[in-house]
């Protein structure tokens, strides 16, 4: 333990990481650098600075950084180019944030000559895998400290007792029992796990949801949005071009207003157990069908089908923590190449929890040819007689097999 001189801690300023900060000092007797990332979680992060100072962290060792634009531009949008969904439902809001945090932790470790990184992920979850795979991929010699796998502070009561013993500031909500859920938020989503939700048969309480109204109480009038795409990425809403993180934030507001983006699922964690969670992903729930809609007129059929074949593998790589792996990087190059012609606009209608695509067009890259697809007179653009030979050739193997089966009877 004494071999570690300096550690970079992923620090939120909450109960767990505040206890970890002091525990690192007492257990490893090392210098601690705190890193707090603003990924759009909607919390006041500046409060982390005075807490870290109170616990003896030098001002120069406190990093609080706004990573919202990088998060959406370089992580969320590349993931959505692949139409990524894990196990048919989950839009990977927590998973996609972890590689960015791991990247910046390693950068800060290099900058400050730290020889270790520390995180507050538990030994039961996926995040420990995501943080550590990312850290090792970016710096193979880094030391990892995961307190939840080492200490005996395995309950809220023990954490609170440790905090009180060592003079660690604790918000009143923790003393009073706090939120009944374990939550994680960023610009893509907010997740809820634990307590009431540990019974998969129990319906989530309406009071739990924070970003979205109930579809039953959503506006009675539908709202239309025009979404513009360039090379597969959203660049404008209703004609207004904005930075990537502001676009996603705007979609969150609009989707939340109309009750869009709630899911309740039981997922298969990488560590082996099943886990029930609820998620609000209003912006992503709008973005996914809109992106598929613009692809529907700009992507070649076989390219689109190839992407659909690869997507579950790509989703598992992200969910399991392999963002920085060579296979994910290789897949990303293929996916990004397919997006060069994904340019145009999509019109969606938001109504009581639903996202309905009602129009799409591309002035430069549409493969939709109305002169061929029409049900009216196509003026010879398509010779229907050609279909006979096409069908007969494709039926040849089945005809041969059928004749063989008949002879065997």
Q: What is the CA radius of gyration of the chain?
A: 25
Residue ranges making up the domain that contains 215: 185-299+342-361
89 in a structural domain: no
Please spell the DSSP secondary structure of 74-126, one letter per residue.
Answer: IIIHHHHTTT--BTTTB--TTGGGHHHHHHHHHHHHHHHT--EEE----TTSS
Asked whether residue 33 falls in the same domain as residue 140, the answer is: yes
354 in a structural domain: yes
Of 98, 262, 276, 292, which residue is the catalytic one?
98
77 in a structural domain: no
Q: Tell me if residue 309 is catalytic.
A: no
Asked whether residue 198 falls in the same domain as residue 216, the answer is: yes
What lies within 8 Å, CB to CB, of 169 at 6+ separation is: 18, 51, 54, 163
Asked whether residue 103 falls in the same domain as residue 196, the answer is: no
Q: Tell me if residue 127 is catalytic.
A: yes
Asked whether residue 124 falls in the same domain as residue 205, the answer is: no
Cα separation values, 355 from 116, 152, 195, Å: 45, 47, 31
100 in a structural domain: yes
Asked whether residue 169 falls in the same domain as residue 57, the answer is: yes
The answer to whether the beta carbons of residues 25 and 57 sit under 8 Å apart is no
Asked whether residue 37 falls in the same domain as residue 131, the answer is: yes
What lies within 8 Å, CB to CB, of 265 at 6+ separation is: 87, 89, 90, 276, 277, 278, 279
CB atoms within 10 A of CB 135: 25
Cα separation values, 37 from 8, 12, 34, 94, 264, Å: 13, 8, 10, 14, 27
Asked whether residue 251 falls in the same domain as residue 281, the answer is: yes
Please spell the DSSP secondary structure of 375-405, one letter per residue.
Answer: SS--TTSS-TTHHHHHHHHHHHHHHHHHHHH
Of 5, 38, 182, 264, which residue is the catalytic one?
182
Of 12, 68, 104, 127, which residue is the catalytic one?
127
Report the alpha-carbon distance of residue 177 to residue 143 in Å, rounded.
34
| Count of domains observed in the chain | 3
Report the alpha-carbon distance of residue 115 to residue 26 in Å, rounded.
17
Q: Is the Cα dihedral 201, 207, 210, 215 positive or negative? A: positive
Asked whether residue 143 falls in the same domain as residue 198, the answer is: no
The answer to whether the beta carbons of residues 282 and 260 sit under 8 Å apart is yes
Question: Residue-wise pLDDT tens for the chain (409 aa)?
Answer: 458 999 999 998 888 999 999 999 999 999 999 999 999 998 778 788 999 999 999 999 999 999 999 999 999 999 999 999 999 999 999 999 999 999 999 999 999 999 999 999 999 999 999 999 999 999 999 999 999 999 999 887 899 999 999 888 776 554 455 556 888 999 999 999 988 899 999 999 999 999 999 999 999 999 999 999 999 999 999 999 999 999 999 999 999 999 999 999 999 999 999 999 999 999 999 999 999 999 999 999 999 999 999 999 999 999 999 999 999 999 999 999 999 999 999 999 999 999 999 999 999 999 999 999 999 999 999 999 999 999 999 999 999 999 999 999 9
Asked whether residue 142 falls in the same domain as residue 124, the answer is: yes
Asked whether residue 295 falls in the same domain as residue 224, the answer is: yes
Asked whether residue 54 falls in the same domain as residue 132, the answer is: yes
The pLDDT, as a whole number, for residue 177 is: 53
Structural tokens at position 105: 């932790």
238 in a structural domain: yes
Asked whether residue 217 falls in the same domain as residue 357, the answer is: yes
- pTM score of the predicted model: 0.94
């Amino acid at each position: 333990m004494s071999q570690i001189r300096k550690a970079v801690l992923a620090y939120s300023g909450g109960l767990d990481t505040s206890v970890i900060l002091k525990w690192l000092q007492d257990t490893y007797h090392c210098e601690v650098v705190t890193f707090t990332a603003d990924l759009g979680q909607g919390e006041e992060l500046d409060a982390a600075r005075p807490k870290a100072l109170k616990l003896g962290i030098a001002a120069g060792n406190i990093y609080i950084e706004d990573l919202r634009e990088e998060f959406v531009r370089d992580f969320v949008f590349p993931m959505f180019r692949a139409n990524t969904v894990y196990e048919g439902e989950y839009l990977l809001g927590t998973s996609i944030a972890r590689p960015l945090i791991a990247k910046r932790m390693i950068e800060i470790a290099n900058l400050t000559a730290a020889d270790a990184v520390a995180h507050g992920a538990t030994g039961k979850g996926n995040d420990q895998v995501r943080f550590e795979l990312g850290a090792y991929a970016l710096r193979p010699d880094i030391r990892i400290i995961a307190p939840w796998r080492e200490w005996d502070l395995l309950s809220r009561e023990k954490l609170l007792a440790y905090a009180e013993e060592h003079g660690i500031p604790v918000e009143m909500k923790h003393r009073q029992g706090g939120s009944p859920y374990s939550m994680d938020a960023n610009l893509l989503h907010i997740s809820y796990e634990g307590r009431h939700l540990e019974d998969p048969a129990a319906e989530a309480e309406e009071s739990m949801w924070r970003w979205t109204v109930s579809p039953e109480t959503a506006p009675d009038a539908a709202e239309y949005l025009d979404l513009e795409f360039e090379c597969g990425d959203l660049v404008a809403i209703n004609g207004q071009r904005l930075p990537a993180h502001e676009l996603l934030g705007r979609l969150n507001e609009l989707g939340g207003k109309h009750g869009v983006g709630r899911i309740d699922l039981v997922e298969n964690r990488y560590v082996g157990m099943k886990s029930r969670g609820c998620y609000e992903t209003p912006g992503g729930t709008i973005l996914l069908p809109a992106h598929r809609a613009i692809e529907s007129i700009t992507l070649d059929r076989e390219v689109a089908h190839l992407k659909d074949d690869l997507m579950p593998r790509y989703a598992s790589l992200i969910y399991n923590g392999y963002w920085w792996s060579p296979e994910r990087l290789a897949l990303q190059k293929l996916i990004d190449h397919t997006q060069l012609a994904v340019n145009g606009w999509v019109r969606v209608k938001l109504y009581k929890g639903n996202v309905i695509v009602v129009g799409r067009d591309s002035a430069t890259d549409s493969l939709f040819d109305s002169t061929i697809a029409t049900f009216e007179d196509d003026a010879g653009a398509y010779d229907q007689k050609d279909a006979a030979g096409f069908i007969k050739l494709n039926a040849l193997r089945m005809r041969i097999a059928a004749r063989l089966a008949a002879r065997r009877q």
